[in-house]
Structure 1
Amino acid sequence: MAIQVTMGATLMCSQGLAPSTLVVPPLNRTLADGLPAATIMDQIPIVNIPPFGMCRSPANPSVAAATAAAMGVLTPMPCMPVIAAPWSPGSATVQIGNKPALNNTAKCICNWGGSISITNPGGKTVQTP
């Protein structure tokens, strides 16, 4: 059973070295367990998805450059997520502010090859004003 994701949900990137925390501004005025409920459009880097510590993806230009400078030894560099598409899949039945609600089964893809998943959704119940 899918669980609604809220502000403060724990995220992990397959190419990142540290977890991150989802930021959901209270724009939609919908709460889940007293916290702002997320939608699939809460995928903006830095605004919604902070960095994951260090990035180890060779597709990341800064990692590729550092690795080349280290004679081919993989050299992680600071993470700066680049996300072009919304979380997928969103809820098929629940809409928040005319956007599909974000549940814990959704994933987001970073342009550097990382798959961002939700490891702790934070919310369980939904309340609308």
Structure 2
Amino acid sequence: MGNPAVVSEALCMCSFGLAPAVLQVPPATKVVIEGRPAATIANMTPANIPTFDMCNTLSNPEVAAATAAKLGVLTPMPCVPVLAPWLPMTTTTIGGQPALVAGSTCLCAYGGVVEITLPGTTGVLI
């Protein structure tokens, strides 16, 4: 059996973020599951995942600069995710892109691992 499909308003979390983010999926794909637009692996832009509130990794230049200014005391700064496409891919496509399913992860350029915590649906893609 497959994993549940991910839809708009699913929750995701970054390992270096301080709060979960709500995935926003535009209705452009025209595929709806349980009343919400279905997500694809391409839904990883700032329009889809704007922030995880604050970032707390020194690999983020803003966090490193703020921490240096505070003489080494870790100082989280506003999160602006820089994400790679989601993995793993499925064979099911939506608008020519692999569908996003629960269990998928993506990486932030600053080293964080983003994962789907609540897919927003119970529907399983085949």
TM-score normalized by the length of structure 2: 0.93
Instruction: Provide the secondary structure at the position in 2 that maps to 1:64.
Output: helix
Deviation for aligned residue 1:124? 2.4
- Tell me if structure 1 keeps the 8 A contact 2:13–2:52: yes
In structure 1, list runs of 5 or more residues that go unmatched.
none
Corresponding residue number in structure 2 for 1:65: 65
State how 1:1-129 maps to structure 2 within 5 Å: 1-45=2-46, 47-83=47-83, 85-91=84-90, 93-125=91-123
* Cα distance between partner residues in 2 of 1:9 and 1:37: 10
Instruction: Provide the secondary structure at the position in 2 that maps to 1:17.
Output: coil
TM-score normalized by the length of structure 1: 0.91
* Cα distance between partner residues in 1 of 2:78 and 2:37: 29
Percent identity for Structure 1 against Structure 2:
52
- Tell me if structure 1 keeps the 8 A contact 2:4–2:124: no
Specify the code of the residue in structure 1 equivalent to 2:119: P
- Tell me if structure 2 keeps the 8 A contact 1:30–1:126: no
Instruction: Provide the secondary structure at the position in 2 that maps to 1:11.
Output: strand
* Cα distance between partner residues in 2 of 1:122 and 1:90: 18
Deviation for aligned residue 1:79? 0.6
Specify the code of the residue in structure 1 equivalent to 2:15: S
* Cα distance between partner residues in 1 of 2:93 and 2:87: 14
Ranges of 4+ aligned residues in structure 1 off by more than 4 Å = none
* Cα distance between partner residues in 2 of 1:9 and 1:115: 16
- Tell me if structure 1 keeps the 8 A contact 2:88–2:104: yes
Deviation for aligned residue 1:108? 1.0
Shift in alpha-carbon separation, 1:24–1:89, aligned structure 2, 3 A: same
More strand by share: 1
In structure 2, list runs of 5 or more residues that go unmatched.
none
